[in-house]
Every structure is written in C-alpha cells, then in structure tokens.
Amino acid sequence: MAQARLAAGWQHWLDWRDGDQAASAGINRSAKGPVEQARRLVIRAYRRRVWGLPGGDYRDAAERLTLAGYPTTEQEIKNGARGALVEHAIPVAVVVEFITAVRAIWPTFEWQLLVEHTRPQEVVSQTVSEDPNRRDFIKKAQV
C-alpha cells in the first residue's frame, strides 16, 4: 500500500516537472499531466486550422479524440480559440502515445510544432514501438 502511494506521488511529481515548460508558456497544469496540456494545444490548433489540422466539424473532432481515449467535448473544441497556441512546449517522451493517436485521426498533423525542440533521439527511439505510424514518427524525429 505504501509503495502504491509512493509510486503515485512520484508520478504526480514527474507530471508536474514535465508540464513546467508548458505551464510557464501559459498552458494551465492539469491533474492529468502533460498529456492533457498537449490535448488542449491540439484542440487550439484544430480550432485555428493550423499544425496540419483541418478544423471545422467540432462534434466529429470531439468524438474522434474521445474514441481515441482522450475525452473531449464539442464545447471544448469551440472554446479552443480562447487560449494561446504555444509551440514547442511539451516534452516528447511523455506524449508519444497521444501524438500517435492524433496522427491516426489526422495524418497531416504536424506534431513537431507541439513538442520541445531539445529532445534526445534515444528517448524517441526507446518509447516508440514498431507500429507504422510510430515508425514515421521516428523517421521525422531523426531529421
């Protein structure tokens, strides 16, 4: 029991640390960690039709993100125009799964605009499996 609490506390601290740059740039922290910050940024980009995202059908976008495991409402998409759209604010190592899910929905998503510039290639290679979408992710990260 104590180990579970320690592990949960450690994960909370890691999420806090990993969300620091995005929080400094104006993306509010979340109990869900940096993946939630990344989701908010993708919503903002979708709403503005940038980063290779089509924009437009808010209900469809919300349903797609929700089906991918990232609960989103149509109202959140509509509100996406309100916040700042900050580039290169999320550490890549903690959002690989999220990026893969978004690229499965919108293959034109320019994920490089979401993640920090400074990221070791080893982290990307170790975190990404042999899924075809993820292989493409590795190739682009090597550029």
pTM above 0.85, yes or no: no
Q: How far apart are CA 138 and CA 83, in angstroms?
A: 30
| b/e per residue 46-85 (b: at least 16 CB within 10 A) | bbeeebebeeeebeebbebbeebebebeeebbeebeeeeb
Measured between alpha carbons, how far is 87 from 117 in angstroms, rounded to an integer? 10
The secondary structure of 61-92, three-state, reads: HHHHHHHCCCCCCHHHHHHCCCCCCCCCCECH
pLDDT digits (tens, 9 = 90+) for 1-58: 666 666 666 555 555 555 556 665 666 656 667 889 899 999 999 999 999 999 999 9
